[in-house]
């Protein structure tokens, strides 16, 4: 999910808010506000609030919501995104994108059921968007509903077979369901489409380890660490290597 949808949001929200003060260039103000909301959420929220008082309308409300999520106020940000999606006069696909942003905020707030419900609304507006199915799979996975996640990922891949992230995610879902054969097929397909996918190499290593192929698992995880050393995937790869190399130590730590 993306917290900022680029030019589509700029155009739609500014059309939906025609009462902006004449002395402000709306598109420029929106871009500046969104950048500040991402880089310095506290200042971004202040700028959005000031702009709202000058007639910033929906565009300013959107900037506020992004800033709130950046400030860690995920539930409030999610509610703001939902309100905007429900009230803005825009085409359905755009409203669906706002619902998707609300869902991401609900996930950050630790409320995957709310995220799933919001994504149901998004898919009602834009049922042919594969990314929304991937997003809903994320919510299902957060609740441990791996079968629902697998089904949504399958729907996304039926629409767009080139979605590498969806293939990797479905490999993980199938692994959790015990379907190791198809999980490995998905991981291999992801690497074939994108040999540099760090997430695919991480998942491939997990699958190798489950199959007892320790050397192959090590190669996959070392590749992740070498090519993306500062990423969450690399941290996970280091943890997996430690667990594989020193299982007794890992067991004592968990106890």
The radius of gyration of the chain from alpha carbons, rounded to an integer in Å, stands at 21
Instruction: Say how far apart CA 88 and CA 121 lie, in whole Å.
Output: 15
Going from the C-alpha of 10 to that of each of 2, 3, 4, 89, the distances in angstroms are 14, 13, 10, 14
Q: Which residue has the tokens 């891949």?
A: 157
pLDDT band at 249 (very low <50, low <70, confident <90, very high): low
On the CB side of 73, CA atoms within 13 Å amount to 15
What is the crossing angle of helices 164-176 and 198-210, to 10°? 20
Helix, strand, coil abundance in the chain, percent, nearest 5: 80, 0, 20
Span 22-45, mean pLDDT?
Answer: 83
pLDDT in tens, 152-166: 999 999 999 999 999
Mean pLDDT to the nearest integer, 5-25: 44
Q: Is 136 left (phi over 0), alpha (psi -120 to 50) or beta?
A: alpha
Q: Residue 28: what pLDDT?
A: 86
Q: Which domains are seen in the chain, by residue range? A: 161-255 (1.25.40.10)
- State the number of CA atoms in the 13 A half-sphere of 200 facing the CB: 19
- Rounded CA gap, 99 and 109, in Å? 15
5 to 31, 98, 174, 231, 247: CA distances (angstroms): 12, 9, 30, 24, 44
pLDDT score, position 18: 41
Give the mean pLDDT of the chain. Answer: 88
User: Tokens at residue 246, please?
Assistant: 């020193």
User: Tell me, what's the pLDDT at 118?
Assistant: 97
With a cut of 50, say whether residue 230 has pLDDT above it.
yes
What's the pLDDT at 20?
36
More confident site: 4 or 178: 178
49: nearest Cα among 31, 39, 62: 62
Which of 54, 58, 127, 51 lies closest to 87 in space, CA to CA? 58
What pLDDT was estimated at residue 248?
57
25 pLDDT tier (thresholds 50, 70, 90): low
Distances (CA, A) of 199 to 116, 167, 190, 235: 23, 10, 9, 12
Q: Which pLDDT score, from 0 to 100, does residue 67 have?
A: 94
Q: Which of 13-17, 54-58, 90-94, 150-154 has the highest mean pLDDT?
A: 150-154
* pLDDT tens by residue, 58-115: 889 999 999 999 999 999 999 999 999 998 888 999 999 999 999 999 999 999 999 9
pLDDT of 217 higher than 60: yes
What's the confidence (pLDDT) of residue 247? 64
**Residue 4 confidence (pLDDT) above 60:** no
- pLDDT value at 145 more than 60: yes
According to the model, what pLDDT value does residue 8 have? 43
Any idea what DSSP says for residue 119?
H
Distance (Å, whole) CA 197 – CA 156: 19
């Amino acid at each position: 999910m993306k917290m900022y949808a680029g030019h589509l949001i700029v155009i739609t929200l500014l059309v939906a808010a025609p009462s902006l003060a004449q002395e402000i260039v709306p598109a420029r103000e929106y871009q500046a506000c969104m950048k500040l909301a991402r880089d310095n959420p506290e200042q971004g929220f202040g700028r959005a609030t000031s702009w709202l008082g000058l007639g910033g309308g929906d565009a300013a409300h959107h900037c506020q919501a992004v800033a709130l999520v950046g400030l860690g106020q995920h539930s409030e940000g999610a509610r703001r995104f939902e309100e905007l999606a429900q009230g803005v006069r825009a085409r359905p696909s755009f409203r669906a994108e706002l619902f998707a942003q609300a869902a991401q905020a609900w996930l950050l707030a630790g409320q995957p059921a709310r995220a799933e419900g919001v994504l149901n609304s998004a898919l009602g507006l834009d049922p042919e968007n594969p990314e929304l199915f991937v997003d809903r799979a994320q919510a299902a996975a957060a609740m441990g509903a791996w079968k629902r996640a697998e089904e949504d990922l399958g729907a996304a891949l039926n629409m767009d077979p080139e979605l590498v992230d969806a293939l990797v995610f479905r490999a993980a879902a199938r692994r959790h369901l015990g379907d190791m054969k198809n999980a490995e097929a998905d991981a291999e397909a992801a690497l074939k489409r994108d040999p540099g996918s760090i997430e695919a190499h991480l998942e491939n290593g997990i699958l190798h380890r489950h199959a007892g192929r320790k050397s192959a698992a090590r190669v996959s995880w070392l590749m992740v660490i070498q090519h993306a050393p500062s990423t969450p995937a690399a941290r996970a790869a280091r943890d997996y290597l430690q667990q594989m190399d020193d299982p007794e130590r890992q067991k004592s730590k968990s106890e």
